[in-house]
Amino acid sequence: MSSVAIITARGGSKRIPHKNIKEFCGFPIITYSIKAALESRAFDEVMVSTDDDEIADIALKAGATVPFRRSGETANDYASTDEVIAEVLNTYREKGKEFDSFCCIYPTAPFVTANRLKEAMELLKTHESAMPVVCYSYPPQRCFVVRNERLVRRFPEYATTRSQDLEKFYHDCGQFYACRTDAFFRDNTTDVEDMVPLILSEDEVQDIDTYEDWKIAEDKFIKLHPEVKNNSGNCFIFSYNSIKDIPTPFYHIDEKRLDEDIAVLINSLKDSWGNYIASYSVKTNSLPWLLKHLKEKGFFAEVVSDMEYDLAKRLGYEDSHIIHNGPIKDRSIFEAMILNGGIVNIDSSDELIWIKELSLKYPNKTMSIGIRVNFDITHLCPEEVPADEDGSRFGFCYENGVLGSVISDIKSLSNIKITGLHLHSSTKSRSVKVFAALAASAVKIATEFGLDLEYVDMGGGYYGGVTDKPDYRDYMPAISKELSKGFDSGKTKLIVEPGVSLISAASSFVTSVTDTKRVREHVYIQTDGSRVNLNPQVTRHWYPHHNELTNEADTTAKRSILKSQWVCGATCMEYDRLFEETDAPEFKKGDKIIYDLAGGYTMCLTPLFIHYFPGVYISKADGSIFTARKPWNNDQYLQNYFWE
């Protein structure tokens, strides 16, 4: 017996605008109905009847079909569900396609399940129609009416009847209607004589007509599905089968590639030095999924603020597995880290005062501290170009004697031991030679000031995953070679704090072409991504990328070759022009432009400007898709704002 699922979703909802595609627990609410119908495997086709382009686009991406559009007659406020069903079935007939049965599913029915749909369709083997119902929570026989401003029992004969002796009344759940096609056309309704109930519990039902109903439904849904509730209380259960199904724009992380790059780092450290700590730079990308994943791989968390420290702690990092850097530290966290065995590299005059006061407060406790060093890179490597033309502002300067003074002050404290040096320094070239020079500087400082170091922290700033550039297999041997001239690898740990180099190659930003426009001699390509999603500081003009055509059958050979096309972003700012595509096939609406190396200083640094945070999705090693961050909308934006 052939069957079709008909999901009715017009675009003109009034009480809740765009109700049929409004986000419910992280996804357009219609996707729950589509997902349940597809997973039930009870239908030959799952279609959406709509008059709205945006609804149609979301439906298609969720796996439904939209073989034709709903007419104006059935898309108004007065058309009945039966009229919509009749139009759909008759249109299919005109196209030479008929179904023995159907199930009309409402688009705002997130509680509908694949199993309930299967049960209903099974009932059609022996009955003409099936409808989910729920028992009234309070006996209608006990109801009152108001007459002459007084309450009057509507059914006084039941006033003293026990509740359990009253006949049960049921009402429509507002989820779906299953019916045989011949019975429907015979009576022009699903409400036929041979209609049987599918009795649901109150937990499976929630009417959604107002914003208050919506909030109640979401809270109820989360309580019913604790397995899909994350630590912040947000829910994300709709799973995509493929990255290609996810609405753009969004960030994408390939877990398998990420793990490969992690392995390259770890193996390089093992082979070159053996005694090491791999720590991840949280500021680079503080995505909670990423921090948890790296924690499971044995990484420490390198933080530079009280917020990052708190995030790391919430995600399960102990103080002993956190490295605290940066010139601005919270005093209570500073003290807790030192007392609990964390690694703290001081970088301010305040911290010198705090460590002296800690020394006095705990005279019988030996405590460890590290120092961030500022070396003149242009002196060490004259051919290198520093990240800033005036050099780095971080750390205590070696050349002017400040570093020596700090070391002397700390060494005067009998219970404070200098156990490490932090030598992170950024250059535009990120050359292996710079890191080797910094490692040699660590040996120089330890020798000059008589330091017995437990660790040398080389920081981050490496290349990784970039063709024709060095990677960990180049950096770590060069660093280790210099360190071995003054340190014993069995005693002194090598610490590295990669960020961009670790995650960028596994990350991308996926956007779509939404329009093409010709303005005089220029061709502008409008996309739904932006420079602010890729380079929030708006300093770059180079964005490695690759393109995917809308239709695989639409090859480049069938497209005109255009001399110049300017790819532009989704903001209304003129500077939001990402790159010029030259001598290339013309872009068309729906094409995808995928930006590579998009994991560092992007996902979490994107400003809340015009559009909010895009979603982040993980291609898991097992082939599944995990939602690491759902796209932000005004529900998230307004949660900490107030107005009168």
Looking at the predicted structure, is the pLDDT value of residue 351 above 90? Answer: yes
434: tokens are 């710079």
Q: Are 511 and 249 in contact (CB under 8 A)?
A: yes
Distance CA 642, CA 644 (A): 7
Q: Is residue 36 helix, strand or coil? A: helix
Helix intervals (H) in 193-252: 211-224
Distance CA 581, CA 177 (A): 51
In the prediction, which pLDDT does 266 show?
Answer: 97
DSSP 395: S
- Residue ranges of the chain that CATH labels 3.20.20.10: 273-498
Residue 397, CA distances (Å) to 325, 326, 331, 368, 389 in order: 16, 15, 23, 21, 16
In the prediction, which pLDDT does 637 show?
Answer: 85
Q: Are 413 and 355 in contact (CB under 8 A)?
A: yes
Q: Are 9 and 107 in contact (CB under 8 A)?
A: yes
pLDDT, tens digit, 9 for 90 and up, residues 389-418: 677 889 999 999 999 999 999 999 999 999
- Residue ranges of the chain that CATH labels 3.90.550.10: 3-134+174-238
In the prediction, which pLDDT does 554 show?
Answer: 53
Distance CA 246, CA 628 (A): 13
Helix intervals (H) in 63-167: 81-94, 114-123
Distance CA 500, CA 459 (A): 12
Distance CA 423, CA 478 (A): 15
In the prediction, which pLDDT does 235 show?
Answer: 46
Looking at the predicted structure, is the pLDDT value of residue 552 above 70? Answer: no
CA nearest neighbour of 313 among 285, 291, 283, 335: 291
Distance CA 301, CA 313 (A): 10
In the prediction, which pLDDT does 582 show?
Answer: 94
pLDDT, tens digit, 9 for 90 and up, residues 131-147: 999 999 889 999 999 99
pTM score, whole prediction: 0.70
Q: Are 184 and 192 in contact (CB under 8 A)?
A: yes
pLDDT, tens digit, 9 for 90 and up, residues 508-519: 999 999 999 999
**Lowest mean pLDDT: which of 21-35, 185-199, 247-261?**
21-35
Query: How far is C-alpha 123 from the geometric centre of its chain's CA atoms?
Result: 41
In the prediction, which pLDDT does 458 show?
Answer: 95
Query: How far is C-alpha 189 from the geometric centre of its chain's CA atoms?
Result: 44
Q: Are 3 and 103 in contact (CB under 8 A)?
A: yes
pLDDT category of residue 233 using cuts at 50, 70 and 90? very low
Other C-beta atoms closer than 10 Å to the C-beta of 148 total: 5
DSSP 603: T
Q: Is residue 622 helix, strand or coil? A: coil
**Biggest alpha carbon–alpha carbon distance for the chain:** 101
In the prediction, which pLDDT does 121 show?
Answer: 95
Q: In the CATH scheme, what is the homologous superfamily, with its name and number, of domain 3-134+174-238?
A: Spore Coat Polysaccharide Biosynthesis Protein SpsA; Chain A (3.90.550.10)
In the prediction, which pLDDT does 234 show?
Answer: 45
Identity at 285, one-letter amino acid code: N
Helix (H) or strand (E) run with residue 478 in it = helix 472-483
CA nearest neighbour of 107 among 235, 217, 6: 6
Helix axes 349-361, 331-339, angle to 10 degrees: 50
Q: Are 569 and 532 in contact (CB under 8 A)?
A: yes
Q: What is the mean pLDDT of residues 293-321?
A: 95
CATH number assigned to the domain with residue range 505-640, chosen from the 4 options 3.40.50.720, 3.30.43.10, 2.60.120.10, 2.40.37.10: 2.40.37.10
pLDDT, tens digit, 9 for 90 and up, residues 89-117: 999 999 999 999 999 999 999 999 999 99
Q: What is the mean pLDDT of residues 282-299?
A: 95
Q: What sign for the dihedral angle of Cα 62, 64, 68, 72?
A: negative
pLDDT category of residue 24 using cuts at 50, 70 and 90? confident
For 138, residues 6+ apart whose C-beta sits below 8 A from its C-beta are none
Angle at 372 between CA 368 and CA 373, to 5 degrees: 130
Helix (H) or strand (E) run with residue 58 in it = helix 53-62
Q: Are 347 and 322 in contact (CB under 8 A)?
A: no
β-strands 592-596, 507-519 pairing: antiparallel
In the prediction, which pLDDT does 154 show?
Answer: 93
Q: Using the structure block, give the residue that is written with the tokens 């082979």.
A: 271
For all residues of the chain together, what is the average pLDDT?
Answer: 90
Other C-beta atoms closer than 10 Å to the C-beta of 154 total: 13
In the prediction, which pLDDT does 23 show?
Answer: 86
CA nearest neighbour of 457 among 370, 587, 569, 377: 370
CATH 2.60.40.10 applies to domain 273-498: no
- The 10 Å CB-count burial string (b at 16+, else e) for 134-147 is beeeebebeeeeee
